[in-house]
Each structure stands twice: as C-alpha cells, then as structure tokens.
Chains A and B, each alone.
Chain A
Amino acid sequence: MNLSVENISFTYPGGAEALRGVTLDIASGEAVAIVGENGAGKTTLVKHLNGLLKPTRGRVIVGEWDTREHTVAKMAARVGFVFQNPDDQIIERTVGDEVAFGPRQLGQSAPDALANATAALEMVELAAESGTHPYDLTAPQRKLMTLASVLAMRTPVVIFDEPTMGQDARGVALIGNIIETLKSEDRTVIIITHDIDFCADHFERVVAMADGRVLADGPAADVLAQADLLATTNVEPPQLIRLAQALGLPGAPLSTDGFIASLRRRDGTR
C-alpha cells in the first residue's frame, strides 16, 4: 500500500507549528526509519499516516484514501500504530484479550481474532502471559504486548514509535526479527527511533527531520554518513560509520561485515 504525504503542515491548537511543508512518498513494502532531535515533528508526522491527526495544509493519501475523508477507526485497518508509551493504548484486562481487541474491532470473527492474537503473542515471546493482567507485565513486556496487538491486526502498514526503548539486547533482537519478518511479507514498516545502530541494522531508507521539515531522505548509508548534517538535528552516525570515518576508511559500513570489507580495502592498498 503506497503512502503519499503531500506538502503537509500542521499546527497544534494554540501551539507551535509542528510540521512545515513535509513531502514524502513511501512505496508498498518499504522499510523507512525516521530520525531527528526531540521535538522535530517525527511523532506528529506519523500520527498523520493513520489519520489520528489531519493536516492543517496539504494532504495524506494512504492507498487512494485521503485521511481527511476517513475515520481513525477505518484507517486502523490499513495502518497499525504502536505508541511510544505502551500505557497510552491498554484497554483490556488480560494480555490475550488486549491483543485480540484490535482484530475484533476490525470485524474479524472470534476464532480468527484469537488465532491472530496467539500468533502475534508468539512472535513477541509472550504466549505464556496470555492470561496475565497487562499491568502485571514489566514495562518492556508491556511494550512488546502493544507491538503484538498491532501485529495481530495484520495491517499492510505498520508504524512503531521508538520500539526498542527500554528493551535489553534480547528484546532489541526480537523486535529486529519482527521487522525482518514484516519486510519479508512485503508490508510497509515505518519506525521512529533514536537508536541509530538499530536503524542501520534494519532500515534501507532513512528520513532525517528537523524543526518540522525533512532534512534528508535517502538510502541509509547515504543519510547516516552525513555527520555534519545529522548533528544539526542532534543525531550522530551509527558506531561503525563513526569508526570508519575516524579511520578514513572508504564507504559507509552499516554492518560488521561491511566494516571488515572497508578495512580490507584500505589495508590491501597499503
């Protein structure tokens, strides 16, 4: 499902202008990471993709639908959204019901909703907690649960706001695997993250935002290598690119293998 953000601006009621002319086209099956300083407008932008916010100027098209003409409930069938703070979206009294809530709202039959919920809980390794009250989970587990509740809706577009926040190495790896699975199913994945190394691991395209505008948009290796540009929005390149640049190595390695290849190239020419 294609997403098209057409020169949108947005001003919060009585507040500042949070978006100032953002244009972005995201094709079906793309994996896009949005980075940028606190207050750059990242969350405001993605809230436009599922219609939670409607642009003050410009328009957002989600697979032919103009978000201004459709309710959030209807948009939910197309765009799943995992909030930054899991406690902003918990409704039910058990983990199993919570994860089945979304699919049921979309009109899935009870058995289908249950099957999708069970599969999603298995993906986040919480199947054993199905009968637990959401607030008896630890905060990182609650975050994984809200991720499952969006996965269970099987939407063509999935948006994660800071998915790795508070996760340990195992949780980060788990979320990385989920993103790779979604990509392999040709679903569109969009994340907001300050975790630049995570971004380098899983996202082919990076959008850097500052002050309500798009600062840079392109392949991860191009955008994440521009240290000076990223610094203007309080972002630093990933560890391996910083190291490669400190060493004057060719290229912008995103992975250990890429770094080793750069190293061989330099050492080979010595």
Chain B
Amino acid sequence: MIRLDRVSYSYPRATSPALNDLSVDIPAGQFCAVIGANGAGKSTLCSALAGFVPHFYRGRLTGTVEVAGIDIAASSLAELAGTVGLVFSNPFNQITGARFSVRDEVAFGLENMGVPRAEMETRIDYILQFAGLAGLAERPPFALSGGQQQRLAIASVLVMRPRVLVLDEPTSQLDPVGSREVFTVLRDLAATDEATVVLAEQKLEWVAAFADRVLVLHEGRLVADGLPGDILASPDLQRYGLEPTRYTRAARAAQAAGLRPEGDTLPVTLEQAAEFFA
C-alpha cells in the first residue's frame, strides 16, 4: 500500500537532509508506528506520505514515494486528499478556520469530495458520536478545549474514510482513556483492512500495546524496523534518544538485582510484564 524507494528529502535552505535514503514497504492493513527523537524525520515522513512534502513545503525530494499506487511527486494534493488522510500533531494547524461550527468543520472534507447530502449527514452523526463531540456540534471549533480540538481534527479525517491514515502524535492533548480509544479505533481499522495506518508517536507504551510494526528513525535514516517487542526491548533504543517503557526498565532492574534470570525476553507491555514477573 505504501512504498518508499531510496527517498531523500531536504527542506528549502536546509543544510542537512530531513530524510536520508529511506526504503520501506508497508502492506495494506498494517498498523505501523514510526518512533524517534524530535528532529529524526517522523513528521517529515508523515508529510511525504500525504504529499505535503514536496508539494507544500517545496524543497528537494529524490527517490519514489508511492501510496496506493499513486506516485506522490507526480500527483497533486487534491488527488491525494481522497486517498491519504493526515492528522497533524497540533489541531490548530488542521482546523480550517473557514467553518463556524464543529459539525460544518467535519462536513468540510466530505463536501469537497462531493458526498451526497444524506450519506454525509449519517457519516457526520456517526463520527461526532464516536469522537464524543455530539454535544458540541454547534460550537465554534476554536471555542473547544485543546483536547476537544484534537478529537475534532481526528474526526474530520476519519469521516472521509481514507485508505491510508497518517497521524502525527494524534493524542498528545488527550486524556489517557481518550488516547486509548483513538488507538483502539486505529488498530481496528487496520485489522479489518479498512485502512493502512502510519502513526508517528513519542509514547512508547501505546506503540508497544497497539502497533503491528515499528520503524525507528534517527537523523533522517531508518535505523531499525521490526516487531514492537523486539524493537522496544532492544538495548539500542537509548542510542536513538528513546526511553524504553517502565515495564522494560523494571524488568532490566529486576535482572540487574538478580531477582529474575538474565536472558529472559524483556516485556514491553503491561500484559507481558505481568507474565514476566508472575
């Protein structure tokens, strides 16, 4: 569904590339997390998958980015909009500012896609309910709290049912239960092949619990690619500016203290940790 072949990209006037010789294939229906320190290239990768790199940011892109068979460089943002949905990390950058109510904001993308009115109403009602925004449908978008704006940004993208969903730290302002709900929906969309999901995320506990696969970026390069259990328990993690989950840290400390044998597979999730320490 997504294919990157030797992709490098530099922002205008940048002295070093934001993406450096990236090659990766992401099959349909996969929930793929992208992790790395700030500045590693996560947001740039998200922008490239949605075509904002290079169409909006300009700069120099080499190699091929292909999403659902579309060559990003050879297509326009308008063509891509129906296929790829991008959720920005800061909802303020996502909300159009052209709509006076939450309901109309969610309708914006569907109107541009020419969805029939009756279907539009059904889809909007459903998504507002799902996002916990039904009671706020008539409020102006910028009168919402930070967390509510973030849910609106996610709802506005999900309502278009894109085949490829790209999300850049989509739950940074959500409470823990709200975050869990969003990640559960993303996992279900991927598991039922409704969407292929690419998620840039700092909170590794969520990545461990929900992703099928983890890519690690470091200074624009892809430095690791594998299962969450392997990547997140790897001793290399800290070299890339990432901290393992508390579960992994507790397991290492228990081994160091001689309470658990060295060499056991380290846990990365609550369930695995409960088994490790049982």
Contacts from A to B (Cβ < 8 Å): 36-39, 43, 84-85, 87, 138-140, 162, 165-172, 194, 196-197, 231, 233-236, 238-240, 242-243, 246-247, 256-257, 259-260, 263-264, 267
Q: Select which of B89, B176, B254 is within 8 A of A260 by beta carbon.
A: B254
Least Cβ–Cβ distance between A261 and chain B, in angstroms: 10
Q: A256-B249, A260-B254, A263-B277 are in contact. Are A167 and B146 (CB under 8 A)?
A: no
**10 tightest A-B CB contacts, nearest first:** A38-B147, A234-B177, A239-B246, A169-B243, A234-B175, A246-B274, A168-B38, A168-B37, A236-B176, A37-B175
Asked whether B175 lies within 8 Å of A168 as measured between CB atoms, the reply is: no
- Residues facing A in B223-278 (CB within 8 A) are 241-243, 245-247, 249-250, 253-254, 257, 259, 270, 273-274, 277-278
B90 within 8 A of A: yes
Interface residue from A43, A139, A231, A238 paired with B246 (Cβ < 8 Å): A238
Of B57-65, B99-107, B114-122, B166-174, the one touching chain A: B166-174
Is there an interface contact between A256 and B177, defined as CB atoms closer than 8 Å? no
Contact A260 B145 (CB under 8 A): no
Residues of B within 8 A of A171 (CB): 38
B246 contacts A38, C-beta separation under 8 Å: no
Tell yes or no: B92 within 8 A of A by CB.
Answer: yes
B270 touches A243 (CB 8 A): yes
Is B97 part of the binding interface, using a Cβ–Cβ cutoff of 8 Å?
no
Q: Which residues of A contact B250 (CB under 8 A)?
A: 240, 243, 256, 259-260
Q: B202 near A: Cβ within 8 Å?
A: yes
B interface vs A, CB < 8 Å?
Answer: 36-39, 89-90, 92, 145-148, 151, 169, 172-180, 202, 205, 241-243, 245-247, 249-250, 253-254, 257, 259, 270, 273-274, 277-278
Smallest beta-carbon distance B41→chain A, Å: 12
- Contact check: which of A85, A235, A238, A257 meets B146 at CB < 8 Å? A85
- Check B148–A39 contact: CB distance below 8 A: yes
- List of A residues within 8 angstroms of B242 by Cβ: 168-169
- Contact A239–B37 (Cβ < 8 Å): no
Could you tell me if B253 and A43 are in contact, using CB atoms closer than 8 angstroms? no
Q: Is the interface of A mostly helix, strand, loop or mixed?
A: helix
Chain A residues with CB below 8 A from B39, complex form: 138
Give min CB distance, A226 to chain B, whole Å: 14
CB-CB < 8 A to B273: which residues of A?
243, 246
State whether A239 touches B145 (Cβ < 8 A).
no
* A194 contacts B173, C-beta separation under 8 Å: yes
> Chain A residues near B145 (CB, 8 Å)?
38-39, 43
Contact partner of A239 (CB less than 8 A), chosen from B180, B241, B247, is: B247
Contacts of B146 in A (CB 8 A): 38, 43, 84-85, 162
Cβ–Cβ contact B246 & A256, under 8 A: yes
A197 touches B38 (CB 8 A): no
Give the most central of B37, B250, B254, B273: most A CB within 10 Å: B250
A170 to B180, CA, bound (A): 24
B231 CB to nearest chain A CB (Å): 15
* Selected A-B contacts with CB under 8 Å, 19 pairs: A37-B177, A38-B145, A38-B175, A140-B38, A162-B146, A162-B173, A165-B173, A169-B202, A169-B243, A235-B175, A239-B205, A239-B247, A243-B270, A246-B273, A247-B274, A247-B277, A256-B250, A263-B254, A267-B259
Asked if A85 and B92 sit within 8 Å, CB to CB, the answer is yes
Q: Which residue of A lies closest to B35 (CB)?
A: A168
Least Cβ–Cβ distance between A73 and chain B, in angstroms: 25
Please pick, from B36, B92, B147, B243, the residue contacting A87 in the complex, using a CB distance under 8 A. Answer: B92
Q: How far is the CA of A162 from the CA of B145 in the complex (A)?
A: 13
Residues of A within 8 A of B259 (CB): 260, 263-264, 267
Contact B176 A194 (CB under 8 A): yes
Q: Chain A nearest CB: distance from B180 CB in Å?
A: 8
- Report the Cα distance A176→B98, complex, angstroms: 39
Contacts A243-B273, A246-B273, A259-B253 known; 17 new A-B pairs at CB < 8 A: A38-B151, A84-B173, A87-B92, A138-B39, A162-B146, A167-B38, A168-B36, A168-B242, A169-B37, A196-B176, A234-B177, A235-B177, A239-B270, A243-B250, A243-B270, A259-B250, A263-B254
Closest to B179 in A: A194
Are the C-beta atoms of A234 and B274 separated by less than 8 Å?
no
- Residue pair A231, B257 in contact (C-beta under 8 Å): no
What is the CA–CA distance of A175 and B126 in the complex, to the nearest angstrom? 40
